[in-house]
Chains A and B, each alone.
Chain A
Amino acid sequence: MRRDIFQAIADPTRRAIIALIAMQAMTPNAIADNFNTTRQSVSKHLRILTECELVKQEQQGREIYYSLQIEKMKEVDEWLNQFRKIWETRYNQLDDLLLTMKKQKK
């Protein structure tokens, strides 16, 4: 089963990692330096973010750099926007129905 992106960004450390690498690509060590936690724990968070395709890895020399997949983040917003439109449409239909109901009552 594919990982839920909401789940991925529900964790405060993962949100902080996203904010951090949004500025620039970073190595796991450099990321870990910003947190009061173990390397293993940061690696685990990075793995989850990678599985959700929210971050991508790039090999540069001997180091692996992690960077944010801006497109994927945009996709999340695009989905939300479509979800909003469903509700807009649904409620516009309800407006029409209520108008009809009011006229019938008279």
Chain B
Amino acid sequence: MNDLLFDFTVDKPSKTVYITREFDAELPLVWDAFTKQELLDQWWAPKPWSSKTKVMNFEPGGRRFYAMVSPEGLERWSVQKYTSISPKTNFKFLNAFADENENPELPGSNWDLNFSEESGTTKVIVTIYNESLERMEKMIEMGFKEGFSMTLNSLEELLASLSRK
């Protein structure tokens, strides 16, 4: 589909996951897509799951409390606590699964997201520290399996919904 870089590396001994991806868009747009609730909810959950953000205050010490919702309506909550934010450059958060009352399942994993732009292409490097296989397994068990075989065609839907506004 495109020549944009995608690199996914796992360092098992140090339990660190590195995900590097380039996007054909300028940095401010990409930054917004990662940091604004209404935009995040449009792409964060792999279909047919959807993302539902209940609380989000994007500021140091703030948090995003959200759920991945299955097609059957099953909700899987997580909380991300923002530990540092350098606008349009980097932000970090502590990620943990939670119950619907926002009680986290600790220890969580530490996320570090880096943004940079070169001639209209924005590179995002996500580093996840202290990821556990158990947690990954949980994510997979959450039902993403079924979605993989589907062809993603969210563009048309999005265009349609946005043009209605």
The interface of chain A, by Cβ under 8 A from chain B, is: 2, 4-7, 9-10, 12, 15, 76, 79-80, 82-105
Contact = CB atoms under 8 A, between A and B. Distances in A.
Contacts of A80: 10, 136
B46 A100 contact: no
Given A2-B134, A101-B29, A104-B162, A89 B13 contact: no
Contacts, number: 113
Contacts of A105: 29
Contacts of B139: 83, 86
Interface of B: 1-2, 4, 6, 8, 10, 12-15, 17, 19, 21, 23-25, 29-30, 32-33, 39, 42-47, 131-134, 136-137, 139-140, 144-145, 147-148, 152, 154-155, 158-159, 162
Given A85-B148, A100-B158, A101-B33, A95 B24 contact: yes
A95 B140 CA distance: 22
A62 B39 CA distance: 64
Contacts of A6: 12-13, 15, 131-133
A93 B162 contact: no
Contact of B6 (A2, A88, A96): A88
Contact of A82 (B21, B29, B32, B144): B144
A80 B25 CA distance: 28
A10 B131 CA distance: 12
Contacts of B8: 84, 87-88
A79 B133 contact: yes
B13 A93 contact: no
Contacts of B15: 6, 10
A4 B132 contact: yes
Given A4-B132, A82-B148, A97-B39, 13 more contacts: A6-B12, A6-B131, A7-B132, A80-B10, A82-B145, A89-B147, A90-B46, A98-B23, A98-B30, A100-B155, A100-B159, A101-B25, A104-B162
A95 B33 CA distance: 10
A93 B133 contact: no
A1 to B, nearest CB: 9
